[in-house]
A and B are shown apart, each in its own frame.
Chain A
Amino acid sequence: SVPRRLCILKGIYPHEPKHKKKVNKGSTAPRTFYLLKDIKFLLHEPIVNKFREYKVFVRKLRKAYGKSEWGTVERLKDNKPTYKLDHIVKERYPTFIDALRDLDDALSMCFLFSTFPRTGKCHVQTIQLCRRLAVEFQNYVIASRSLRKVFLSIKGIYYQAEVLGQPITWITPYAFSHDHPTDVDYRVMATFTEFYTTLLGFVNFRLYHSLNLLYPPKIDSQAEDELKPAEGKEYAMDSESYLERLSALSASLARAVAPAHEEEVEMDEFPVEGETAEQMDSKKKEQEALEKHKKLFEGLRFFLNREVPREPLAFVIRCFGGQVSWDKSLCIGATYDATDPSITHHIIDRPRVDKQVVGRYYLQPQWVFDSVNAKLCLPVADYFPGVLLPPHLSPFVTEKEGDYIPPEKLKLLALQRGENPGAGSSQKSEEEEEEEEDDNDNDKEEEEEVDESEKEEEMKLQKMEDQKTQSTQSNKALPVKVTAGKVRLEDKQRLEQEQQSEEKRLAIMMMKKREKYLYKKIMFGKKRKIREANKLAEKRKAHDAALKEQKKKSKKARQV
């Protein structure tokens, strides 16, 4: 419907009224409310007229079909009214940074649409456009080396790039055909995609120009010669093969201005003092680390085996400066063969290698992604084909204090700090972890103590009373007996702690009702967090114990 499309294109969303009852005529039933101003704003949109024209066009076309006037149909189709969304993009995102900030959904949607089949759900043009824009963006990310993080999830592959200081995250599905669901309204998605393609096109243009690249991207002429099929056989039609070659991601792009010789941009140094100097230092260090990260795979030559997902791996490797190739029959754009002796890493995803070539590592694809996330080339031993892979951790999680940190992450952090990897460090880290766990336990105990101390007091009093009653009774019945008292050492620290906790409890009693509610809520949240972290740690401990047991058993079996 027209209002829905308008709302989507113009980015109008409902608002939550301040006084729901007042607005809703006294009822609290859930309803959506739009601002009156927004709706009036929609009425002034020139695109409304275009929509009306389109409606008229459809009516005329239907009539012409009904009367079988094919000439009229042709004429009408030729004069089909079209509209542009440029001004809406500009209006919604007045600055380029605004547009970049909102690029996440646009990219995810374009990548999804580009995987749709060319028949059925949507227009072929839309799908082709999405594919083109997605490939262009990928090429930009490669050219600018702005990819930062990759994550293989069960939903798809998450990428995070940093463009002009803005983190942009998008997800691409795994390359399988879609099982199209019935409960999805594709018209809504198509409207969104219409807007997103316009946005992404303009963003791509600007990004390419910021790097002095030609915008409808052209493959470097030198690379193009390499890419040309040698046998002279046409691989595809010219228009198609262009996009194909672009999407191979293996060639560099032509620049509008020839790049000056690897000009290193050095930050000017200003004489600064005190804290700012420290800040500058840390900034500088960060910058260096970033540069190093960008050149992670520089000088390495990869070869992708056939069963490996080509596009994501080629994209990631090229983003960090590596060279990559694949089997010629797999895709256009292969630059060297599997037998090339200069290959350093052979990515393979099958349990056994038939013919191993000396001088290269045979690795599982997870190594590439883990290395990128770790910002260093990880030791390869864990990633040989057929080996049980170490867990793949999310690079998007930054653990705060009190959160649960998986031991693999601790190991990784130690590696990044430059500690020597090996059995010792792993043991150490385990110990550390155990210590931490102990700490956690202590914390928990303390909390329990707070609750228990009251009970304890009661118990003590009860006991004293009982003793007294007994003694009074026994006074009558039995002769008085004096036993040597034991010296009770008073734990000063403990006493002090108890006193402090009691003071706190008394102060909590004096809180206002609202504050007390808030306080209790916050404390509840904190406790739940701790509980969850403890649960995870416990689970891990049990799992490790089970694993150890199994190992022992298998060892014994082997010995016997």
Chain B
Amino acid sequence: LQDIRNTVGNIPMEWYQEFPHIGYDLDGKKIYKPIRSKDELDEFLEKMENPEYWRTVQDRLTGADVTLSDEQLELIQRLQKGQFGDINFDPYEPAVDFFSHEVRIHPVTNRPADKRSFIPSLVEKEKVSKLVHAIKMGWIQPRKPKDDSPVFYDLWAREDPNSILGRHKMHIPAPKLPLPGHAESYNPPPEFLLSPEEESAWEQQEPAERKLNFVPRKFQSLRAVPAYPRFIQERFERCLDLYLCPRQRKMRVNVDPEDLIPKLPKPRDLQPFPTTQALIYRGHSSLVRTISVSPSGQWLVSGSDDGTLRLWEVSSARCLRCVPVGSVVTSVAWNPNPSVCLLAVAVDERALLLNPGLGDRLLLSSTDQLLQSWEAPQEERIQPVRWIPASPEEFRSGIRLVLEHGKPVTQVTWHGKGDYWASVQRNPGGAQVLIHQSSRRWSQSPFRKSPGLIQCVQFHPCRPYFLVASQRSVRIYNLLRQELCKKLDSNCQWISSMAVHPGGDNVICGSYDSKLAWFDLDLSTRPYKLLRHHRRALRSVAFHRRYPLFASGSDDGTVIVCHGMVYSDLLQNALLVPLKVLKGHVNSLDLGVLQVLFHPTQPWIFSSGADGTVRLYT
């Protein structure tokens, strides 16, 4: 067998697949691949015929077939079983511990010991001597046992006022905890214990809302008292309060409530004023919207929702006449001129001039003459309303002239001289205020455009002014110069009524939001005082012509009479004192008093109410 050792080394043999040789031998000559001309059939035949076929393997390096010997086979089988290749090797030989824990008398190694292991270390000696020196010199001292307990001394031995910080002045000390009351006792008086209802109410409350933060309990003896389960929590809450609660200095209001009540003159000293209900004028079957008194103070006229006007004698409460006008009477006004006896009445869409037929006959006839003395002018002027003479049956009931407005009329009011009068009609966007002259049967609309919804108008008692109250404000116009001279802001939501002081410098306004505003025209355009006496909407306000009195009637069924003294001295403000709350009207339809009116000469007051009565208080 020749030695054909391949010298290519450990390389993938497929590199030689293309070549006829398979590598090089020791001499550098090519080793050629053995001729392999066997096909599948030859292979099969070989397999069937050659008994050594199963132990024949190909040598990858030479490509020659090698038949394995018996020893080689055995080795392969042993390796396949995971056994050692060498048969003689015993893997379970007893182990001999060479480096063991046992100390031997002989050295393990034969190496001789170093010299330095016999001589003391110089470095260590140096270190030790240094330490010894340091100890001798007292540089190093033994560690003292630590004493943790704090040391106390007289901290405030020298109280130096200069060392107090400036910020200490601003310091707000925390308030102390409230001291316990009887209820917290372990054995409280029986009235401090909670009843079962109170206890359940206590449990349902939020912890922050509770008045007591514990339930009072009673124990028979001291030994029965248990520990309080929330003790630590309460201490903790106190801690939180101390460092988390914002602190603030608050001045405690220490006021005697009696001092808050203003010192006013006593009503007794401000007499006369109406105090008691004297007369009731009955007859109307529906609410009495409006009343008016004759300038002499002898007669009273009232207009009601039942479509009638009633004329009363003031002193006897007798109904003298009843004039049916056919519709709701919204406003009546007696002519203030004592030489003329005439009534202006607002009924639905008409305004009537009515001769009541009461009192002096001469006066009545002269009034009629005054009205009839009118002559139609040559040229017809365009008027906002139509003046129509009354029909005969109307004439018999006293009606003299009818003014067709075409819109519902809400108010009529006379000028002080008794010739001019004004009416307000509900005509949003158009002319709302009309001024009429009864002697010339002539009307005009003074304003080109209207300032909102007009509530009421009033002639100034002594100057040529005209006051118009819209929803929120009162405008004062100068009629001569035809310009706006003042606008009063009322601070109210909706003005209901207005009255002018006979002196002419003060105006009061009632409003539906239950306020009464007193204006001093010399002072400001804002209210001098806003009075909230009534509990519900104000319907009407009035001034007395002679006495310093004014009154207001409201939906809550009361009339409040106040003293309103105006001084001629400009420096002194008006004095307002409520004098009397007059009651008597019964509320119906959620309405109480609809109009209040003072007697022209006496300190009496009339009020008309929703219960269909007119009452006189004296």
* A183-B235 Cα distance, complex, nearest whole Å: 12
Contacts of B165 in A (CB 8 A): 91, 94
Per-residue interface assignment for chain A, residues 105 to 133, with 1 indicating a CB less than 8 Å from any chain B CB and 0 otherwise: 10011001000000000000100010000
Given A37-B167, A204-B152, A389-B187 contact (CB < 8 Å): yes
Q: Is B576 an interface residue (CB 8 A)?
A: yes
* A397-B584 Cα distance, complex, nearest whole Å: 51
B255 to chain A, nearest CB (A): 7
Contacts of B219 in A (CB 8 A): 154
Interface pair A104/B261, CB less than 8 Å apart:
no
Within 8 A of B (CB), among A367-391: 388-389, 391
Question: A-B pairs with the 9 shortest C-beta distances?
Answer: A176-B227, A396-B179, A540-B191, A539-B191, A16-B248, A153-B184, A391-B189, A14-B246, A94-B164
Interface pair B180/A158, CB less than 8 Å apart:
yes
- In the complex, the chain A residue whose C-beta lies closest to that of B257 is A522
Q: Is A504 an interface residue (CB 8 A)?
A: yes
Pick from A307, A454, A468, A505: contact of B280, CB under 8 Å: A468
B523 to chain A, nearest CB (A): 18
* A41-B168 Cα distance, complex, nearest whole Å: 12
Q: Is A54 an interface residue (CB 8 A)?
A: no
| Residue with the greatest number of chain B CB neighbours at <10 A, chosen from A41, A155, A198 | A155
Q: Is B480 an interface residue (CB 8 A)?
A: no
Contacts of A519 in B (CB 8 A): 257, 260-261
Interface pair A391/B163, CB less than 8 Å apart:
no
Q: Is B232 an interface residue (CB 8 A)?
A: yes
Within 8 A of A (CB), among B562-606: 576-581, 583-584, 586
Interface pair B257/A78, CB less than 8 Å apart:
no
Contacts of B222 in A (CB 8 A): 152, 308-309, 349, 364-366
* A323-B431 Cα distance, complex, nearest whole Å: 104
Interface pair B244/A14, CB less than 8 Å apart:
yes
Given A7-B243, A509-B578, A518-B253, A536-B191 contact (CB < 8 Å): yes
Q: Is A481 an interface residue (CB 8 A)?
A: no
Within 8 A of A (CB), among B205-235: 214, 216-217, 219-223, 225-235
Interface pair A205/B153, CB less than 8 Å apart:
yes
* A99-B173 Cα distance, complex, nearest whole Å: 11
* A442-B223 Cα distance, complex, nearest whole Å: 44
Interface pair A393/B185, CB less than 8 Å apart:
yes
Kindly specify which of B141-149, B290-298, B412-420 makes contact with the partner chain: B141-149
B238 to chain A, nearest CB (A): 6
Pick from A95, A408, A515: contact of B189, CB under 8 Å: A408
* A391-B218 Cα distance, complex, nearest whole Å: 9
Which residues of A are interface residues toward B (Cβ below 8 A)?
A: 4, 7-8, 11-16, 32-33, 37, 41, 78, 84, 86, 89-91, 94-96, 99, 101-102, 104-105, 108-109, 112, 125, 129, 151-156, 158, 169, 173-174, 176-181, 183-185, 188-189, 192, 197-198, 201-202, 204-206, 209, 215, 307-309, 349-350, 364-366, 388-389, 391-394, 396-397, 406-408, 454, 457-458, 461-462, 465, 468, 502-511, 513, 515, 518-519, 522-523, 526, 536-537, 539-540, 543
Within 8 A of A (CB), among B523-568: 531-533, 560
A-B contact count (CB 8 A): 266
Contacts of A105 in B (CB 8 A): 174, 238, 242
Q: Is B359 an interface residue (CB 8 A)?
A: no
Interface pair A188/B583, CB less than 8 Å apart:
no
Interface pair A504/B186, CB less than 8 Å apart:
no
- In the complex, the chain B residue whose C-beta lies closest to that of A408 is B189
Which residues of B are interface residues toward A (Cβ below 8 A)?
A: 143, 146, 148-150, 152-156, 159, 161, 163-165, 167-168, 171-174, 176-177, 179-182, 184-192, 195, 214, 216-217, 219-223, 225-236, 238-240, 242-248, 253, 255, 257, 260-264, 266-267, 277, 280, 531-533, 560, 576-581, 583-584, 586
- In the complex, the chain A residue whose C-beta lies closest to that of B150 is A201
* A165-B228 Cα distance, complex, nearest whole Å: 31
Interface pair A181/B232, CB less than 8 Å apart:
yes
Pick from A15, A78, A215: contact of B246, CB under 8 Å: A15
Interface pair B533/A509, CB less than 8 Å apart:
yes
- In the complex, the chain B residue whose C-beta lies closest to that of A199 is B155
B103 to chain A, nearest CB (A): 30
Pick from A33, A78, A173, A543: contact of B228, CB under 8 Å: A173
* A89-B578 Cα distance, complex, nearest whole Å: 62
Given A8-B243, A503-B267, A95-B156 contact (CB < 8 Å): yes
* A540-B143 Cα distance, complex, nearest whole Å: 72
Could you tell me the dominant secondary structure of chain A's interface residues? helix
Interface pair B243/A13, CB less than 8 Å apart:
yes
Given A154-B217, A506-B578, A192-B239 contact (CB < 8 Å): yes
- In the complex, the chain A residue whose C-beta lies closest to that of B143 is A78
A437 to chain B, nearest CB (A): 13
Contacts of A513 in B (CB 8 A): 532
* A505-B262 Cα distance, complex, nearest whole Å: 11
Pick from B155, B159, B227: contact of A202, CB under 8 Å: B155
* A505-B263 Cα distance, complex, nearest whole Å: 12
Contacts of A84 in B (CB 8 A): 150
Given contacts A349-B221, A457-B583, 9 further A-B contacts (CB under 8 A): A91-B165, A109-B235, A153-B186, A154-B184, A155-B180, A184-B236, A189-B239, A406-B189, A506-B581
Contacts of A176 in B (CB 8 A): 226-227
* A104-B493 Cα distance, complex, nearest whole Å: 57
Given A396-B179, A518-B255, A32-B246 contact (CB < 8 Å): yes
* A280-B223 Cα distance, complex, nearest whole Å: 45
B558 to chain A, nearest CB (A): 10
Interface pair B176/A154, CB less than 8 Å apart:
no
B152 to chain A, nearest CB (A): 4
A169 to chain B, nearest CB (A): 7
Interface pair A96/B156, CB less than 8 Å apart:
yes
The 19 listed contacts between A and B (C-beta, < 8 Å) are A13-B243, A15-B248, A33-B246, A99-B156, A129-B149, A154-B219, A184-B232, A198-B150, A202-B152, A391-B190, A393-B189, A394-B184, A396-B181, A397-B182, A406-B189, A509-B533, A510-B578, A518-B255, A522-B257
